[in-house]
Amino acid sequence: GPVAETFRVIQGAMTEEYVRSTQGVFQFELSGDGGGTWYIDLKTKGGSTGFGKPPVTADVVMNI
């Protein structure tokens, strides 16, 4: 769906430079279609995005 596609695009745009300069993990609690828990990890080497809880504790949790 569109939410999964958004996180896929973010993953594709990630660089080591973004990860080094950001050093944060963002967790999104989304309601509605395609909702659930999603994350952007800009702290762990290489960075990642995905569905579910992040691999490390989130620095920021957003309820949207």
- Tell the burial category of 59 from Cβ atoms under 10 Å away from its Cβ (0-12, 13-18, 19+): middle
Dist CA 35 CA 31 (whole Å): 5
Mean pLDDT over each residue of the chain, to the nearest integer: 95
Looking at residues 14-21, what average pLDDT do you find? 95
Domain ranges, ordered by start, for the chain: 2-63
Residue 55 confidence (pLDDT)? 94
Dist CA 53 CA 16 (whole Å): 22
* Predicted structure pTM score: 0.92
CATH number of 2-63: 3.30.1050.10
Dist CA 34 CA 61 (whole Å): 18
